[in-house]
Structure formats: C-alpha cells, structure tokens
Amino acid sequence: MTQPAPQQPGASGPSGPRAGFGIRLGAFLLDGLIVAVPLNLVLIFIDVFAIRQSLSFVVGIAYSVYFIGSPSGQTVAMKLCNIRAIDAQTAGRIEYGTALVRHLVSFVSGLACLVGYLWMLWDPEKQTWHDKVANTYVVPTSDYPVERWPG
C-alpha cells in the first residue's frame, strides 16, 4: 500500500484548487503563537486555574470564529500564508455560526491522534473532519481572492 503524498499549496481537489497540508499546518502553528503570546502575558496575572482555562478556551474560540467568519475567511496567519476558508456551496463567506461549528469540531479532529486533521492527506477534496462537518474548503487566495481583510 502506498502512502499519500503531501500536497503542495494550490493542490486541486475534484471541485477546485485547495490549500496543501504544509501551508495549512504552518498557518495553524503561527495562529497558535499569535494567540498564545499575548494571552499568556495576561494569564500570568491570574492565579485561579479554572479562570485561566476558561479564558484560554474563550479567547481561542473568539479569535477563530471572528476571523474565519469574517468576509475574508482568514485568520492573521492564514492571511500571511495566502489561504482562506470558504463555504463549499457558495465559494464565499462562512457565516459566524458555521465558523463556530467548524472550530468546535476541530477539537474532535485532534482527539483521535490528529486523524481528523490528517484526513485531508487522502481526502479527494482535501478536507479535514471539521471542514467536512462545516462544509468548508481551505483554498489559496490566488484562486479565491480576498476583497478586503478582515472584511
């Protein structure tokens, strides 16, 4: 059995261009830093563990939902990596409710040894589990331009 080859940025799925695994991983890690650094500067002043955990959870959701649900469909790191999330049906904006569902299901994508994230390596449409549930694609901005950021 052959292993799936990592996709390059701009790789195509059956219905159009898709962002590759490497660029998506890079954007994910960079977004983690963008959120974690200022958040941890605030958290050092909070002693109660439950409050720290709750604040971290809420900030992560707010960051993702605000930016992915914006008309650009891009977090800060996605903008830097020239990729964006789009609705699979309209090829346009993802609504905030859909962005919330997508973010919450991303936790499930990571539960089973990250299989939900790795799924895009063999999926014909290059979708992760949270992309599938939310009916979204992550695409290069060269093929799906952003009019203004964050929208």
Q: Is residue 71 part of a domain?
A: yes
Q: Are 27 and 64 in contact (CB under 8 A)?
A: no
Q: Is residue 136 part of a domain?
A: yes
Q: How many domains does the chain have?
A: 1
Which of 7, 2, 1 is CA-nearest to residue 126?
7
Query: 60 to each of 5, 39, 135, 149, how far by Cα in Å?
Result: 31, 9, 21, 19
**pLDDT per residue of the chain (151 residues) written in tens, 0 to 9:** 444 444 455 678 888 999 999 999 999 999 999 999 999 999 999 999 999 999 999 999 999 999 999 999 999 999 999 999 999 999 999 999 999 999 999 999 999 899 999 999 999 999 999 999 999 999 999 999 998 888 6
Name the residue range of residue 80's domain: 17-140
Q: Is residue 116 part of a domain?
A: yes
Which pLDDT belongs to residue 85?
A: 98
- Could you tell me the pTM of the whole model? 0.89
Q: Is residue 105 part of a domain?
A: yes
